[in-house]
Amino acid sequence: MTDLGELEPYLNVELGGGVAADSQPVGTLDRINILKAGVAAFNAEASTVFTLTGVQLDRDATDLEKRLIVLFSTWAWARGRAIAMSSQAIVHSNVAGRTDLSGVEFALSKRTKEWREEISRLLPGLLEPVVMSDVHAEEMGESKNFVLNPSPSIYPWIW
């Protein structure tokens, strides 16, 4: 069984060393909660899901599944941060200088899009049947699935 604690260092790297957009460190408990949200997001899109008991997955995750859980976690985190920062997107000027927070939401949205693109690139490896995902039609030859090419003798009235 995979423990979410095993994925925490990878999440920490994806989050830029644990520093959030507002320069507050993301603690261990926060990273575990972010990973739990990532498991839920993963389960919503993957063909095989995980049951989460505390911080343990019900089975060992493959390397691809682990990578996708971390990516889903960072994606969910960044979406939440972008929503939170959108309410604080201001430009403030005073005698001490100028503070521009208007680009933080845009930067988080951009990063969210990049993570989603990587998820979209990796996810088909889990959704396709295990054997068929790397087999191309020209490689199948005589072992080609019979249902894919129905014979007229079996289905005489196909029109």
Quote the CA–CA distance of 154 and 150 in Å, as a whole number. 7
In the block, residue with structure tokens 């690139």: 121
The pLDDT of residue 71: 93
At 29, the amino acid letter reads L
The pLDDT of residue 116: 84
Quote the CA–CA distance of 81 and 75 in Å, as a whole number. 10
Residue closest to 12 by CA, chosen among 77, 59, 62 = 77
Residue closest to 2 by CA, chosen among 45, 27, 39, 37 = 39
Mean pLDDT of the chain: 75
Indicate the pTM of the whole model. 0.63
Please check the confidence at residue 75 and state whether its pLDDT lies above 50: yes
* CB 53 within 8 Å of CB 11: no
The pLDDT of residue 124: 82
